[in-house]
Amino acid sequence: MIQIEIEKNIAILTLNRPPVNALNRQMVAGLQQAAQELKQKSLTSEVRSVIIQSAARHFCAGADLQERRTMPMEKIAPTVLKIQQAFSAIAAIPVPVVAAINGSAIGGGLELVLAADLRFASENAKLGLRETALGIIPGAGGTQRLTRLIGYAAALYWINSAKIFSAEEALNWRVVQGVLPTKLLADHVFNVAADFAANAPVAVRAAKRAVLQGLEQPLETALATEHEFYKTTIETHDRREALAAFFEKRKPRFRGE
């Protein structure tokens, strides 16, 4: 259901539960385990960026409603909490995470891509949070991550209209960063991930943490946070290597230390 390959320090996490990658308990557990594995590999610089993609026709249609239909009432909330926690583990991967969205990313599927740092969609992609039309609310991070991404009014419209948006509409709302022809999506996302993986791993991880922590702080505090993370890069091999490479007119050879 969840596959991980590593190519040129880029981890490719593939959802593979055709036809729509519906999120059952086994798949959610697999995502949680994959996130923990990628976190550890990121901290050693074996993994320097991550791609989330689908091997199926659709990215993810959300919760497995067949499983949910037979679930005892008292187990529903704990099950949704585990989905939220799995997506939070994806968001906590220390290096940039890029989602490649083909087909549908609906409900929990959209909440999964919201846990990524950047999102690119194929031109045929459909995105939306349908939960309020089903008598519930997004419970796996959607109300919080979407609001932080596009603002209060826009997020409220997406959530309470329960509409399905096209890829171009999602781009206009700033939910995704780009829309590509389907045949070009995978290569484009890999190139974006490669741009991140080419840079000094310690600095890339520090930059991600500085940005995320600063978002939750007043500017003055956030600037102090930035300075603290800057200091963590000063004594690294990679900073010295970058300076040497600049003066020697060659590409730096980063070691992640």
Is 63 marked active-site?
A: yes
The stretch 117-141 carries a mean pLDDT of 97
Rounded Cα distance between 210 and 205, Å, is 9
- Tell me the average pLDDT across 228-252: 95
| Catalytic-labelled residue, pool 11, 22, 35, 63 | 63
Predicted model pTM: 0.94
Nearest to 188 by CA among 117, 91, 119: 119
Confidence at residue 140, expressed as pLDDT on a 0 to 100 scale: 97
The CATH class of 2-197 is: alpha beta
Res 64: pLDDT: 86
Q: Dig out the tokens for 242 from the structure.
A: 């970058």
Q: Which of 111, 142, 197, 242 is catalytic?
A: 111
Q: Rounded to whole angstroms, how far apart are CA atoms 233 and 199?
A: 13
Neighbours of 80 (CB within 10 A): 19
Rg (CA), the chain: 19
Tell me, what's the pLDDT at 187?
A: 97
Per-residue pLDDT reduced to its tens digit, 19-74: 999 999 999 999 999 999 999 999 999 999 999 999 999 999 998 888 888 888 99
User: Is 198 in the active site?
Assistant: no
Which residue from 34, 186, 49 is spatially nearest to 120, judged by alpha carbons? 186
Q: Which residue has the higher pLDDT, 63 or 132?
A: 132
Of all residues in the chain, the percent with pLDDT exceeding 70 is 100
The residues pairing with 121 across neighbouring beta strands, listed in sequence order, are 101, 179
Select from 119, 137, 100, 136 the least CA-distant residue to 21.
100
Query: Topology of 201-248 in CATH?
Result: Lyase 2-enoyl-coa Hydratase; Chain  A, domain 2 (1.10.12)
Residue 152 has pLDDT above 90, yes or no: yes
Active-site residue (options: 30, 115, 131, 139): 131
Distance of CA 98 to the CA centre of its chain: 5
Q: Is-same-fold flag (2-197; 201-248)?
A: no
Q: Which of 210, 234, 236 is nearest to 221 (CA)?
A: 210
Domain range summary for the chain, segments of one domain joined by +: 2-197, 201-248
